[in-house]
Structure 1
Amino acid sequence: MEKIDVSQAWQKLLDKYSILEEIHEKGIYKIKSSQIKEVKEPRLMAKWDSSEQLPSSLKKNKINILPDSRSSYVLSDFLLYKDLPPLTEHIKNISTITLPDLETIDVDNITSEANAINVLQISGILEDFLELEPEDLLYETFDGRMSSGVFSFFVATDRGILRQVDVNKAQVEIDGGFESKNYVVILEAKNVLHEDFHVRQLYYPYRLWEGKVKKPIKLIFSIYTNKIFRLMEYRFREKENYSSIELVKVKNYSLEDTTISIEEIQKINLSIKPDDIISDTMSESSVPFVQADNFERIISLLENMNESSMTGEDIENLMQFTSRQKDYYFNAGKYLGLFEKFTEGGFIRYRLTNLGRKVYHDNYKNRQLLLVKLILSHQIFRKLFEETINNGQIPDRQRVIELELEYNVCSKSVASRRSSTVISWLKWIFNLPNL
């Protein structure tokens, strides 16, 4: 089997089996694992938890894939992903939870989804989120890989047509399954922040257990990042409609003090000495001006890079980035002094700088304030921050572009794209205060 990337592998299959033509004529193409294996291992070719990592050969043709058994999949212009709600209010509604004094749980180093689930259990976060009575105990009763059973459902497509999919014992993987007096709870846990998620991760487990139990099922999607547990409850309005998913509620929890005031942020700005302000002029800077809109994802990458250095491929697989996105987010971290490249054994690798490790090990409040200082140490961000304080609102895109060109931080051709990053970082800063 020749070494080709996933996008090239799918292009070979699209061409060999006239998949696009059959989808256009019949709506669906069913493909066997053995066919996929002709070009690459199926496990590498058929599972993307975020739409960002979809291979370009499928994405440009608006094709998505679902498993319908242990040895086959269906392809169509399915709409399979659900955008995660924005983090714009993520600090203001946090309930602080205190853990028991346990030696085997390091709350400053929750590095895996399994660790995050352990903390959700012992802290009482799940019980609080589910609004269980104190006497209503929650027991973890199932997890891991299992068979989906047999069921059918409808799913929306890009062409606006509901397509039927028949599933016969596909593989399902559940991060955490719980039962209380009144509910069965299915938990999908992540410790990396993405823009969206594959609804299959909740829908297939839901259909499996809905057919087995009499109690109502609660579906929880949990993300642990930047020392915050973010829990989202979802439901399906119609059992047999994959696309009927809707968000019920969101609540956020922290194990630390998260109180930050605008006065503390202003104090950080005033603490930056004039000699420490960085101009970012293209002729002087060795780092491209920022183009990474989601600041929380920079933090998520920092947290996951703390364990060890990573290859570019490691980052792309972990964060569900394209190669271009990986460069954008690495360069954004480098711009702040958090990330660096080095060569080992003739290969380029990525790691945290000493400053990056300091940010990682700081508590929640100090981490956020240090990140604010790193941003405001750059001339353009400092100027726009002060304009926001004075005017009571974040400057618009035109004003940002004007300053980008005035300070010569990027070329005119990319100024508009870069301005969206500048605005999103300013919004991140001004969303921190919660007093």
Structure 2
Amino acid sequence: MAKKNMPPTEAWQKLIQQYSIPDKVSDSGSVILTADDIREYREPRLMAKWDSEDYLPQPLKSEHLNILPVSRSAYIVSDVLLYEPLPSLDQPVKEMTQVRLPHYESIDIEHISSESNAINALKLSGILDDFLGEKTVETFNGRMGSGEFGFNINRFGGGALQVDVQNAQLEIDGGFETDNSVVVMEAKNVPHNDFLVRQLYYPYRLWSGKVDKPIRLIFSQYTNQIFRLFEYGFDSQNDYSSIKLLGVKNYSLQDTTITLEDIHATLVNTCIRTDDKMDGNSVPFIQANSMDRVIAILEHLAVQNMNMQEVAESMEFDPRQSTYYADAGIYLGLFYRPIRGVISLTGRGREIFKMRYQDRQLALVAQIFEHEIFQSFFIDIYRTGELPDQKKIEDWMRWRKVCGEGQVVRRASTVLSWLNWMISLTGISDEE
């Protein structure tokens, strides 16, 4: 057990100071920390894997540092670049392949709540075979040793670092074989802006040395009843930073067609519940840009209530972001706090979770339209075909006094993001 159980931010601040990590990285390129070094402050498994750069603890982020396992008991810390951006979730899905899942009583396509269930649906629906253009059979998954290999990886300040790995532990969500290839899949049911390349690169190096067939690498996201599949490859086997996107495709098990007229009709049928003025309003004005992450939390809460630490861990958030997103769900009438520090789905939130895709999205739009600011700006969008300038949103917020002046710019960006999310449901780009 860890001697201490500090929050990751505090723990990393202590480690950075204790081992003079920035100075040593500047001098020699990297620092090796043992699992015991890290365990002095917090369990290594909670300190060494951040699936998105967004959620790196601030001490690492501010020093441009990242951490990689190089064995079962050691980690390298350096200013290396570990993450690859994903196409934005806010980009409209213009081409959606709809597939039908054969009827199985034990699989509920409307309530897929785990990464393993999402992989099952991918296999049984034929989505994975369609994406790959090959018939697949699952042949491996789970934890295994990485084997021994070396590679180069780009550094933040330029140049590359040589890293040697000796049997680090890795976990593969799904491993498949076809007539022509071996397929490694990393699956997520949380939306991110980027992903940790190591989750594909280490399995790629392991299986490249075990089989003769080419290795195909798939990153899968399932959230809000949509599958997004990405295929990646590496230009050079020995270069972590040579990753490239080879293909992307979106799938749904349901009809996803939503029009601008559908959204406008929702507005017409929704009464404004609040003008969001601070006076007399106990719910903070929103500061949570990703509606998809609000929905992901809703999907997790349908399984069980969560405290803020559990929200942070399931979403891979900074704890402060957990509060912002919990408040966003409360603002929309989807979540509530049955006891201090815990969030649960409201009756309305549970109803929306159970809806099919189209009904769910329009129900969420209706919850948004209960707030005057969104009705006001959507009417302008409907008339002009253009998203508003953020400055115009900021001015509206100052006029209505929905938050303090120091919060206006940040929270206006959330309003703009949510408006853009609504428009993206129709497949219309804000650039059109």
Q: What is the TM-score with the length of structure 2 in the denominator?
A: 0.95
What residue in structure 2 maps to residue 305 of structure 1? 301
Query: How large is the RMSD of aligned CA atoms in angstroms?
Result: 1.5
Letter in 2 for 1:217: I
Number of aligned positions between the proteins: 426
Task: Give the C-alpha shift of residue 254 in structure 1.
Answer: 0.8
Tell whether 2:296 aligns with 1:294.
no
Task: Give the C-alpha shift of residue 20 in structure 1.
Answer: 2.6
Q: Distance in 2 between matches of 1:338 and 1:127?
A: 36
What residue in structure 1 maps to residue 197 of structure 2? 199
Tell whether 2:343 aligns with 1:350.
yes
Q: Distance in 2 between matches of 1:268 and 1:38?
A: 54
Tell whether 2:157 aligns with 1:164.
no
Q: Distance in 2 between matches of 1:408 and 1:22?
A: 49
Tell whether 2:188 aligns with 1:190.
yes
Tell whether 2:425 aligns with 1:432.
yes
What residue in structure 2 maps to residue 417 of structure 1? 410
Q: Distance in 2 between matches of 1:4 and 1:110?
A: 33
Contact 2:278 2:403 in 1 (8 A): yes
Structure 1 residue runs of 4 or more that deviate by more than 4 Å after TM superposition: none
Q: Distance in 2 between matches of 1:272 and 1:53?
A: 36
Task: Give the C-alpha shift of residue 61 in structure 1.
Answer: 1.7
Q: Distance in 1 between matches of 2:6 and 2:267?
A: 49
What residue in structure 2 maps to residue 329 of structure 1? 325
Letter in 2 for 1:24: S
Q: Distance in 2 between matches of 1:419 and 1:38?
A: 41
What residue in structure 2 maps to residue 177 of structure 1? 175
Contact 1:380 1:407 in 2 (8 A): no
Which among 21, 24, 28 is matched to residue 22 of structure 1? 24
Task: Give the C-alpha shift of residue 410 in structure 1.
Answer: 2.1
Contact 2:4 2:40 in 1 (8 A): no
Contact 2:92 2:426 in 1 (8 A): no
1:330-350 CA deviation, whole Å, 9 max, x = no partner? 11111110111122xxx5211
Seen in structure 2, the aligned counterparts of structure 1 residues 14 and 272 have a Cα distance that, compared at 3 Å, is closer
User: In the TM superposition, what are the counterparts of 1:355-374 in structure 2 within 5 Å?
Assistant: 355-374=348-367
For structure 2, the residue ranges without an aligned partner over 5 or more in a row are: none
Q: Distance in 2 between matches of 1:130 and 1:72?
A: 36
Task: Give the C-alpha shift of residue 162 in structure 1.
Answer: 0.5
Percent identity of paired positions between Structure 1 and Structure 2: 47
Q: Distance in 2 between matches of 1:16 and 1:69?
A: 22
Task: Give the C-alpha shift of residue 4 in structure 1.
Answer: 2.1
Task: Give the C-alpha shift of residue 434 in structure 1.
Answer: 4.3
Q: Distance in 2 between matches of 1:11 and 1:291?
A: 26
Contact 2:333 2:348 in 1 (8 A): yes
Q: Distance in 2 between matches of 1:353 and 1:52?
A: 29
Which among 272, 277, 284 is matched to residue 281 of structure 1? 277
Which among 351, 354, 379 is matched to residue 386 of structure 1? 379
1:349-377 CA deviation, whole Å, 9 max, x = no partner? 11111111011011100000011111112
What residue in structure 2 maps to residue 31 of structure 1? 33
Contact 1:90 1:252 in 2 (8 A): no
What residue in structure 2 maps to residue 240 of structure 1? 238
Q: Which moved more, 1:30-39 or 1:234-243?
A: 30-39
Tell whether 2:54 aligns with 1:59.
no
What residue in structure 2 maps to residue 264 of structure 1? 262
Task: Give the C-alpha shift of residue 45 in structure 1.
Answer: 2.0
Q: Distance in 1 between matches of 2:65 and 2:147?
A: 25
Task: Give the C-alpha shift of residue 86 in structure 1.
Answer: 0.4
Task: Give the C-alpha shift of residue 90 in structure 1.
Answer: 4.6
Contact 1:91 1:258 in 2 (8 A): no
1:223-273 CA deviation, whole Å, 9 max, x = no partner? 111001111111112211111112222111111111112111111111124
Q: Distance in 2 between matches of 1:178 and 1:395?
A: 47
